[in-house]
Amino acid sequence: MRFVVTGEWTRNRLLKVIVWCFLSYTLILWLSNAGLYFSKMSLDPASVVDYYLGNEKLYLRPRSLAGLLEVLHFHAFGMGILLMTLTHLVLFVPISMRTKAIGISVAFVSGMGGELCGWGVRFVHPGFAYLKVAMFLTLQGSILWLMVAVGSALVFDAPSAYSGDSAKRPG
């Protein structure tokens, strides 16, 4: 933690390698997340409704309560850890606090919203499918933004937002 606060995270080679490795794994997760989504649904809300409520013509069974719980169980933990780590790293990128707050909020809201919208489609109303598509796209966009922000700070050897002149910058 000291390395990030003092700004050494962009000068310490081993720490840079670790963060780049993390970003590489995150990119793989980002790509596989899109792959999994598009292997089951499309950006058409009707495909989301079919996935959650089933479709006899397509031989799709409705998602079960147990199936939804299992997915939520693993996604809540995994996405929570991923977003906590990415947003934690972005705290030290020298950009305005307002931009950070918006990016962090959007990431967490879209992550949780995407998970809960499937439940909404299945148990409340098919209209949640529109929100599910929007949350998926927003989550993918926010994860990409977080990765680019952190990666850019590493490439350009940006100082920590909490060290030197950047700490005095208005937020």
pLDDT band at 168 (very low <50, low <70, confident <90, very high): very low
Q: Which of 94, 110, 72, 111 is nearest to 167 (CA)?
A: 94
- H-only helix segments in 124-161: 128-155
Q: Mean of the per-residue pLDDT values for the chain? A: 88
Q: Which of 15, 37, 14 is nearest to 92 (CA)?
A: 15
**Biggest distance spanned by C-alpha atoms of the chain:** 63
Residues 82-141 pLDDT 10s: 999 999 999 988 899 999 999 999 999 999 999 999 999 999 999 999 999 999 999 999
- Domain positions in the chain are 2-168
Question: pTM of the full predicted structure?
Answer: 0.83
Tell me: pLDDT of 33 over 90. Answer: yes
Tell me: pLDDT of 164 over 60. Answer: no
Residues 59-86 pLDDT 10s: 889 999 999 999 999 999 999 999 999 9
Q: List Cβ<8 Å contacts ≥24 apart for 46-50.
A: 46/129, 48/118, 48/121, 48/129, 48/132, 48/133, 49/121, 49/126, 49/129
